[in-house]
Amino acid sequence: MAEYLLIESRDPFESNEVGYYYNLAHGLVEAGIKVTLLLIQNAVFAARPSAQIPQLRLLVGSGVKILADDFSLQERGITKLLDGVQIAPIEIVVDHLEAGHRTLWH
């Protein structure tokens, strides 16, 4: 069965559509598909432990693996992450592509 890497580049403060993408990740997991969500660029604003994004908090522990791009975090001075979100290098995208995982960018 296909595995997915969902790359989210937008932050939920700017765009309502980020909620849809979090829901898509959840829906895929509920359908039995393995999903990694990679937050990059402004999407990492949602990953601070103090950020008010309940939808991301709900996604943690739902079966979606949530990563945050190290460069985007450094660029924005974000040093602490919501529990359950891990830092990842950009090479993770190539890892997933090499493995044949469907990789979608939002």
Task: Locate 60 and state its tokens.
Answer: 């943690």
| Of 28 and 47, CB closest to other proteins | 28
Structure tokens that stand for 22 in this block: 């979090």
Q: With residue 25 as reference, give the H or E element that holds it.
A: helix 17-30
Per-residue binding string, other proteins, 17-46, x by CB under 8 A, is: x--x--xx--xx-xx-x------xxx----
The residues near 24 (Cβ < 8 Å, ≥ 6 apart) are 6
What is the closest distance, in whole angstroms, from the C-beta atom of residue 9 to other proteins in the complex? 7
Q: Terminus-to-terminus CA distance in the chain, angstroms? A: 22
Interface stretch with other proteins, choices 1-9, 47-55, 56-64, 79-87 (CB under 8 A): 1-9
CB of 19 to other proteins, least distance (A): 11
- Shortest distance (Å) from residue 62 CB to other proteins: 14
Residue 5 has, within 13 A of its CA and on its CB side, a CA count of 22
Beta-bridged to residue 36, according to DSSP, are: 5, 65
Beta bridge partners of 8: 39
Binding residues (CB under 8 A) for other proteins: these are: 1-2, 9-10, 17, 20, 23-24, 27-28, 30-31, 33, 40-42, 69, 71-72, 90-91, 93-94, 97-98, 100-106
